[in-house]
Amino acid sequence: MVLFSCKREKQDVVGPGFISAPKGIVVTDFTTPDTAVNFVTDTAIFTATFPDVVTWILTIKGETSGATQEIRGTGSSMRAALTGTNNSITFFRAGEKVTATLSFFGTSYTTTTTLGIVKARNYASYGQFPNVGDFENPLLVEPQPPLYSPFWASFNFPTPIANESQGVDSVAIDYNGNPVPSVQGKKYYFIKGLGAQSQFVSGLQYFGPLNPILPSDPSTVWVNMYIYGTGDANTAVDLEYQEDDYNGGNGYHPTVDDAWVAHLTIDHKGWKLFSIKYTDLVQSSIAGQGDHGNHILEPQKLVSFDLVLLKKSNANSPVEVYFDFPIITVGGPFDPSK
Ligand SMILES: [Ca+2]
Ligand SMILES: [Ca+2]
Ligand SMILES: [Ca+2]
């Protein structure tokens, strides 16, 4: 009888293209050439070399934002370029530190390095983005009595609404006592119905410029908005998109123009990205409030939009929402991971 022994360790192939790391793998040269990256103008490069062909996973995580992104590859070395996109609900943030972790299939071994962010990726170019739609500059969003904001109209100005509060905030605490983290940048917009109130609480209209002009085919257009909910099924939001059907150039007039609405129940907890296809919007059913246009979905005529906070059932119970980064995209929903 002849016994063959084979000392050479075979590499495990884990599914198509996934190769486990050799036992005891150590990587000593995982690095990034810069101490900080400007994601508006540049990419973050990470490099490493390995003792064998491996499948690697590079994950970056923002230490303040909690934003993440991941790249995978297979080879005996890696050179990965990260563009500041995120596959998480939150966005990477200017001024924060990022931890980059390199891990591998087939082992728990990891190695890390860090990088600063000078500027976060500019997502405004991903679609039609309103002025100050990141809500980072409250002076350009909130009324500056006796004037409106140049771009946004708060429904509680100049006539206040009882038991109601709205404006730009950061590090807020919701009425359940939970901190409201930022989803993009450091600030967001809030509307709160604090007590006894009718179904309608309040809203915010964007009436500033909307560029570029959207295509006329409504099946190619998506409206997107990040909304923070407290998990209260009493909370509803209407997103209302307003066209200039008649008296072109004179803007939206609710008695003669179309308003297209997404009726949203906000019973989720935390931040959520809502993306609605323009063809899934329904015409406003409120008499004299956007039910009078030509009844044709025409994104190229969009001139303004509203976010309206409503109570679904209990008029006496408080409700509140926070929102950020409304953007209208063409060809698909807003996708910050790409
Ligand atoms: Ca923001
Ligand atoms: Ca009009
Ligand atoms: Ca129309």
CATH of the domain at 260: 2.60.120.430
189 and 83 assigned to the same domain: no
Dist. CA 305–CA 161, nearest whole Å: 20
**pLDDT more than 70, % of the chain:** 95
Ligand 2 centroid to Cα of residue 259, in Å, is 11
Cα 122 to ligand 3 centre (Å): 31
Question: How far is ligand 2, taken at its centre, from the CA of residue 289, in Å?
Answer: 12
Report the separation in Å between the CA atom of 235 and the middle of ligand 2, taken as the mean of its atom positions.
31
Is residue 335 a part of any domain in this protein?
Answer: no
Ligand 3 centroid from CA 18, angstroms: 52
16 and 150 in a common domain = no
State the total domains in the chain: 2
Does 215 reside within a domain? Answer: yes
Question: In whole angstroms, what is the distance from residue 306 CA to residue 309 CA?
Answer: 10
Ligand closest to CA 248: 2
178 found inside a domain: yes
The residue written with tokens 């976010």 in the block is: 307
| Boundary of a domain, candidates 72, 97, 119 | 119
| Per-residue exposure over 121-134, b if at least 16 CB sit within 10 Å of its own CB, e if not | bebeebbbbbbbbb
Strands 221-230 and 235-243: unpaired
Q: What is the spatial distance between Cα 191 and Cα 168, in angstroms, rounded to a whole number?
A: 9
Q: What does the pLDDT look like over 200-220, one tens digit per residue?
A: 999 999 999 999 999 999 999
Picking from 79, 97, 119, the residue at the C-terminal end of a domain is 119
**Widest distance between CA atoms in the chain:** 100
Residue 6's domain comprises 2-119
Task: Read off the pLDDT of residues 263-322 as tens digits, 9 standing for 90 and up.
Answer: 999 999 999 999 999 999 999 988 888 888 999 999 999 999 999 999 999 989 999 999
Separation of CA 295 and ligand 3 centre (Å):
5
What is the CATH number for 33? 2.60.40.1930
CA of 255 to the centre of ligand 2 (A): 9
How far, in Å, is the centroid of ligand 3 from the Cα of 85? 35
Same domain, 21 and 92: yes
Between the CA of 198 and the centroid of ligand 3 the distance, in Å, is 30
Helix, strand, or coil here: 143?
coil
Residue 198: which of 316, 288, 320 has the closest Cα?
316
Ligand nearest to the CA of 327: 1
User: Which residues does 238 contact at the CB level (< 8 Å), separation at least 6?
Assistant: 203, 261, 262, 263, 264, 306, 307, 308, 310
Given this model, what pLDDT does residue 243 score? 97
Single out the residue of 82, 84, 62 nearest to residue 72, CA to CA.
Answer: 82
pTM over 0.85: yes
Whether 337 is in a domain gets the answer no
Quickly state the pLDDT bin for 13 (edges 50, 70, 90). Answer: low
**Residue 188 Cα, ligand 1 centroid: separation in angstroms?**
5
- For residues 110 and 150, state if they share a domain: no
Residues 102 and 184 grouped into a single domain: no
Residue 336 lies in a domain: no
Q: In this structure, which ligand is nearest to the CA of 93? A: 1
Instruction: Give 287 Cα–ligand 3 centroid separation in angstroms.
Output: 16
Give the residue, 88 or 10, on which the prediction is more confident. 88
Nearest ligand by distance to the CA of 65: 1
CA of 44 to the centre of ligand 1 (A): 23
Residue 178 has pLDDT above 90, yes or no: yes
Which numbered ligand comes closest to the C-alpha of 91?
1
For residue 284, give the ligand nearest its CA.
Answer: 3
Asked if residue 19 is part of any domain, the answer here is yes
Q: Are residues 145 and 288 both part of a single domain?
A: yes
| Boundary (domain end) residue, out of 95, 119, 143 | 119
Ligand in nearest proximity to the CA of 253: 2
Ligand 3 midpoint to CA 240 (Å): 13
Residues 237 and 144 in one domain: yes
State whether 246 and 306 are in the same domain: yes
Domain match, 131 and 270 both = yes
Helix, strand or coil, per DSSP, at residue 315? coil
- 105 & 134 share domain: no
Res. 1: pLDDT tops 80: no
Residue 36 Cα to ligand 1 midpoint, Å, equals: 22
Specify whether 157 is located in the same domain as 264. yes
Share of the chain above pLDDT 90, in %: 88
* Structure confidence at residue 12 (pLDDT): 61
Residue 338 lies inside a defined structural domain of this protein? no
Q: Mean of the pLDDT values across residues 116-140?
A: 97
* Structure tokens, 308: 């309206």
